[in-house]
Amino acid sequence: MPKIETLLSPALFHLHSEGLEDKQVVIIDVLRATTTVVVAFENGVDHVVASASVKDTLTYRDKGYLVAAERNGIMVEGFDLGNSPQDYTPELVTGRNIALTTTNGTRALNMAEEAETVWVASFRNLSATAEALTQNGRDVLLFCAGWKDRFNMEDTLFAGALAEQLLTMGWTTDDDATFAAIDLYSQNSHRLEAFLEKASHVQRFKTLHIESDLQVCLKIDSSRTVVYLQDDKLVGKTL
């Protein structure tokens, strides 16, 4: 059966990069980049290009893209969108292409691009992602984007939720980080928002007055859309 490993911070990526071409990687940045991307596909976006830099992202405007950029939780001046999933409405994104750069999530995406398949996951498409991973059948690395190379609670919590579900589907693990993530989720699955109240990024939400994004990000299985990297673009399909 396929195996699960979990990467709790991009700073540890070098320990997992060997053999990545034979594995699936799930990018996890639930507050907010991967949630925002999933919402964009729920609402009809055609494809998303993830860029590591603000400068490169802006060049896509001349190609007809909506351009989106966030740094430190704040929309970058001069862009069409930031990183709030609530802004990616059907009226704005249906049929459009988006170029996106964020503080953590798009960086993780670019780091993992050598993998056999790269998926983007959030609580919203949790079960659909588990099904897609199982259909693929290769070993998986759950890649928590964290915050500027630091561990964070919310991405680890989601990694635990996904790993727990995969284990019930016949997957295996002998990885301490995965066991820790599963324990974190299983102990707090009934109170996600309350548990994350003390998380540094949730405190950042409060400072920026964007707390309403949290409920969007913690909505479980509202979507059957899976998102994956294809020819350097994120695309979506409905299971």
pLDDT digit string, tens, across residues 173-221: 999 999 999 999 999 999 999 999 999 889 988 888 889 999 999 999 9
Distance CA 55, CA 1 (A): 43
Prediction pTM value: 0.97
Q: What is the pLDDT of residue 106?
A: 95
Provide the number of structural domains found in the chain.
1
Asked if the structure places residue 23 within a domain, the reply is: yes
CA 132 and chain centroid, separation: 15
Asked if the structure places residue 50 within a domain, the reply is: yes
Phi, psi angle pair for 67, to nearest 5°: -110, 135
Asked if the structure places residue 86 within a domain, the reply is: yes
Asked if the structure places residue 238 within a domain, the reply is: no
163: nearest Cα among 193, 143, 191, 135: 143
pLDDT digit string, tens, across residues 136-183: 999 999 999 999 999 999 999 999 999 999 999 999 999 999 999 999
Q: Find the CATH number of the domain harbouring 174.
A: 3.90.1560.10
| Percentage of residues of the chain with pLDDT beyond 90 | 95
Angle between helices 126-136 and 153-168 (to 10 degrees): 50
Per the structure, the complete domain to which residue 131 belongs is given by: 4-233
Asked if the structure places residue 239 within a domain, the reply is: no
pLDDT digit string, tens, across residues 70-94: 999 999 999 999 999 999 999 999 9
| Percentage of residues of the chain with pLDDT beyond 70 | 100
Q: What is the pLDDT of residue 52?
A: 82
Asked if the structure places residue 78 within a domain, the reply is: yes
Asked if the structure places residue 66 within a domain, the reply is: yes
Answer left, alpha or beta for residue 196, where phi above 0 means left and psi between -120 and 50 means alpha: alpha
Distances (CA, A) of 79 to 68, 107, 177: 6, 18, 37
Asked if the structure places residue 102 within a domain, the reply is: yes
According to DSSP, the residues that pair with 238 across neighbouring strands are 225
**Token pair belonging to 161:** 């939720």
What count of Cα atoms within 13 Å lies in the side-chain half-sphere of residue 108? 35
